[in-house]
Amino acid sequence: MSEEIEKVQCLIVGSGPAGYTAAIYASRAGLNPVLYQGLQPGGQLTITTDVENYPGYPDGIMGPQMMIDFENQAKRMGADIRWGYATKVDLSQKPYKVQIDEEKWMETDALIIATGASAKWLNLESEQRLNGHGVSACAVCDGFFFKGQEVAIVGAGDTAAEEALYLSKLCSKVHMIVRRDEMRASVVMQERVKATENIEIYWNTETKEVLGDKKVSGVTVLNNKTNEETTIPIGAFFVAIGHKPNSDLFKGVIDMDEAGYIKTVPGTSKTNIEGVFACGDVQDKIYRQAVTAAGSGCMAALDAERYLGELEHAKG
């Protein structure tokens, strides 16, 4: 382990809308934040094509470009943006310590966690190849682009049911692929899905392959009871089998729910550790939108600013 230690006032780990917004606000507050971008600079938006639901972009914007804009704005405010990812933490005493790239240690008075979440995928080659070209893990983000078309969605929980209902209002038909002979979704959500005329449920069915060259044109599914293969012509394929918060680094240290989402004090970004704040999808399993992530990044920076102000006053 390298003995090199750098001391900063405010450290931000993660670089999606939450991390960059936190960096913008923390910079303007004079906290001289250092932000480490993580393994996927820009977060989930870098694998999203058109973003049309973020205020201020009347003509829409490509996800990767939007994250470049966020980064450039944070830099203009004075944030120190660096490539690298957090590999170890020691939050047992102040100042807190975070190891970067398994070698360098940072010491910080305030830590903002904005590590996001990752969509769970089926791990099909075609799914990854066509990601952003008709394959999506967010119906609310991308459903609009397939208005009037037939689409498929895979999943059986509340999120899958909600997204299937959302798509049913936009698309001519929704093919819902469910692996077992029942759903995990709540009874009320199941009833709504079953009562929706343009949602067809495929029970005991698994996705074999997403079809298409440059964009999605269909999906091949297998009924695991009858062994019958079916090809469904579709314009888009939505994966709704859950998200995994990128919080493993903080397991056993910061309070989390059973799925690994960091718990924050309601109405704030505060975690159970004083001076450690969480924002964006690592603590939000309900909304998961760029605009709500950015809002919570703002909250984290303001909470950190107040905390550091009180710390300074106490030293006073």
104-113 and 276-278 strand pairing? parallel
Q: State the Cα–Cα distance between residues 269 and 305, nearest whole angstrom.
A: 12
Active site residues: 138, 141-142
Given the structure tokens 């394959």, which residue do they identify?
135
Identify which of 247, 281, 272, 277 has the alpha carbon closest to the alpha carbon of residue 23. Answer: 277
Q: State the Cα–Cα distance between residues 113 and 100, nearest whole angstrom.
A: 14
Beta bridge partners of residue 211, listed in sequence order: 218
Please give the backbone phi and psi of residue 66, each rounded to the nearest 5 degrees, phi first.
-60, -40
Q: State the Cα–Cα distance between residues 40 and 105, nearest whole angstrom.
A: 21
What's at 34, amino acid-wise? V
Q: In a 3-state reduction of DSSP, which class is residue 250?
A: helix
Q: In a 3-state reduction of DSSP, which class is residue 191?
A: helix
Please give the backbone phi and psi of residue 141, each rounded to the nearest 5 degrees, phi first.
-75, -45
Please give the backbone phi and psi of residue 176, each rounded to the nearest 5 degrees, phi first.
-105, 115
**Contact at 8 Å (CB) between 34 and 19?**
no
